[in-house]
Chains A and B, each alone.
Chain A
Amino acid sequence: MTVSILELFSNDLALNGDTGNRRALAHRLELAGIEVEQRTYNQGDALGILPDIVVVGTGSSSAQRALAPEFAKIAEQLREWAKAGVVFLAAGAGFHLLGNSIKLDADTVIEGVGVFDVTVDATAARIVTEAFGIDGQFGLLIGTENHSAVTTLAQGVAPIGAVRNGFGNGGGLEGAVVGNAYGTHLHGPALVLNPVFADHLISLAVARTGDTYVKNEKHDELDQTIDLAREILIGKLPR
């Protein structure tokens, strides 16, 4: 079987190299001998058939504002996919646009897709954390955060983890998990620096396709290099 990965708005929502999330998933799958189909969706494209994984990345607030109507056009389809168990990895602006609503300024609240039952207030002061660390089911997630949002989870929505260093959603938690959909403020990009997280999303995707994801020495070699990069940021966490 082939695992298909769809990156939404790759021309607009890749401010922090977010294409790296798609590359990370594809590369790890391919190292395990699994065929991967990579697609992008941009303004004017056809959304195409059901993918196994949807990734969407970070962008400016003006991009959020401009893309909100574009997201509205595909909102119903995205919600259906999420309900059907398609794996989602949404970072930054992409995460917020897949929430319920974003307050952009005192007069502007834009509606989101509603995959994540969260509301976002993007009028907060900008937060930049070079070594953004999150503890949770994936061990220590590490990367960078750079946003100006307070994210409130609805009752019953689980976070990805607890913030060890940084701001996250605000209030000590980071991200949101709804079914197989994961939203986060982590970039670096997120999956590039966090193979445990990437492998978890891959395991959810191959459970859908019937593939078996078995890692080999090439993954070990890659992960040794990744560890060197992780160590740089881990070394910056407060002791």
Chain B
Amino acid sequence: MTTLSKPGGVKYVLPILAGRAARFATRLRGGGSALPGVVVQKLAPNVMRDVAAGLPHGVVFILGSNGKSTTTNIMTDVVRAHGLRVFTNPSGANMPQGIASALLKETSLTGRLDADIAILEIDEGYGVVIAEQLRPRAAVILNLLVDQIYRFGEPDRVATMFRNIAHAVDGYVALNRDDNFLAKLGTELEQGGKHRVEYFGSTPEALASAPHGQASARDYSEIEASANGAHPVAEVVSAAGNEAVIRFGGVDYPITMPSRGLHYAVDVAATLTLAAHTLGERFDVTVALKAVQAGKTVYGRGEIMTVGDREVEILMLKNLASLQLNLDSLTYEPDSVLFAYDESSYDPSWLYNADLSKIKHVDVISGPKGAFVATRLAYEGKTFDRIIPDVTEAVQAVLDGPRPASGRHTFFLDYDQMMATRKYLGYKDLEAGAAS
């Protein structure tokens, strides 16, 4: 596929130059990357739509409470393995200005994007706005978990967001049939007749093997889950540690995943479902699974780094589901633990719903709100050694301590603490999607 994108014409030269200047200025200041997007949007509001419309395979959205970055990363690897040129947004840059900024970086002065397809992770709060600009042809929705109550109020509001985004997608939606809300959204979309709806899922045995399943939020509506969920395109048959078996086209494929757990395996099943639709006849499941297994984890999500004579594994704790599923997927008992919590994570009440039985002792607690974690542990009667609010000092304190018997330090890090930790350890690839 070498079709060039449709040129946007000379009208974009000025806005894009202005955006680049803004990008350069922002980088000099060492600040965030959203400003250039703002500049371009102000000067030429249609630039996103026109650039997207020029992509031969269109735009694909990756949505869900958790797993967006991971699935975007896997999908990008799979589609590239089939020979397509992919544009994707850096992990976490999933709001309008971040996407505009990322798109701008790759767009020529005449509004051409040198890619066949855009695979984008999208924040649920902005999905409709972004869909109106980019007109996605397909979307996958991974899960609806109790997440960011401080921002969203309640899960039902997120369900409404997903419903509205799905309606703004032109054609195809892949859904997790084991998710309480999404299986019902499937029923609604099927009845609406505007979408082709397909499903991915996990066998009851695979779900039961994870102590807390997928931690899907409760749906109290009376709608029936779609009967078509009984016939998923891709299904997780088993997931234990890095080993999983994925059923596709009636064949069971054993794979070794770059990261652990049922949640990672479900992200793989979601990718196969979306990729098979997107690539059509070009799709080859063996090529796809080879790409999945050769992939790297997105930074900070089950990423293992080597620091001197030890390993450091970073697990994210952005909400109850991410912390719980990461704990559930542990195949070892962590004997050296650092736990850090962000200032920007409001309301840590959810910590009390977490089952922390896999953690026996925490060495260092960190982050501006680390005291909330310390309090949670104290109520559980679990011990911790120290609270060191600055995460880089905390990381250094752990590394200065004795080498754990396992040879591995396990870091449970909130988003900002994860970014700061990686930077401190010399991993400066924060604008790339996957870890390196």
Contact = CB atoms under 8 A, between A and B. Distances in A.
Q: Do A and B come from one complex?
A: yes
Interface of A: 11-12, 14-20, 23-24, 27, 60-63, 65-66, 126, 128, 130, 144, 146, 148, 187-189, 192-193, 221-222, 225-226, 228-229, 231-232
B351 interface: yes
A222 B346 contact: no
Interface in B377-428: 378-381, 387
20 contacts: A17-B350, A19-B352, A19-B353, A62-B156, A65-B220, A128-B150, A144-B346, A148-B153, A188-B349, A189-B349, A189-B352, A192-B352, A192-B375, A221-B378, A222-B378, A225-B374, A226-B375, A229-B375, A232-B368, A232-B372
B369 interface: yes
B196 to A, nearest CB: 29
B17 interface: no
B350 A228 contact: no
B379 A62 contact: no
B347 A130 contact: yes
Nearest to B217: A60
A229 B156 contact: no
A151 to B, nearest CB: 17
A60 B146 CA distance: 11
Ranked nearest first, the 3 interchain pairs of A and B with the lowest CB-CB distance are A20-B352, A17-B352, A228-B371
Contacts of A146: 149-150, 153, 347
A75 B15 CA distance: 65
A20 B379 contact: yes
B347 A66 contact: no
B149 A15 contact: yes
Given A15-B146, A229-B375, A144 B349 contact: yes
B320 to A, nearest CB: 8
A228 B388 CA distance: 12
A16 B347 contact: yes
B194 interface: no
Given A23-B379, A27-B381, A60 B349 contact: no
Contacts of A20: 349, 351-352, 379
A189 B369 CA distance: 15
B56 interface: no
A14 B353 contact: yes
A94 B219 CA distance: 18
A17 B349 contact: yes
B3 interface: no
Nearest to A64: B220
A63 B347 contact: no
A232 B369 contact: yes
A64 B90 CA distance: 39
Interface string B330-369: 0000000000000000110111110000000000000011
Contacts of A192: 352, 375, 379
Nearest to B320: A17
B221 interface: yes
A60 B347 contact: no
Contact of B375 (A12, A65, A225): A225
B155 interface: yes
B218 interface: yes
A60 B154 contact: yes
A44 B220 CA distance: 16
A11 B217 CA distance: 11
A225 B381 CA distance: 12
A12 B155 CA distance: 12
Contacts of A23: 352, 379-380
Contact of A144 (B347, B352, B368, B387): B347
A66 B221 CA distance: 8
Given A17-B353, A229-B371, A66 B220 contact: yes
Contact of B154 (A11, A15, A17, A222): A15
Contacts of B150: 128, 130, 144, 146
A12 B218 contact: yes
A225 B378 contact: yes
Given A192-B379, A222-B379, A60 B369 contact: no
Contacts of B218: 11-12, 63
Nearest to A190: B349
A13 to B, nearest CB: 11
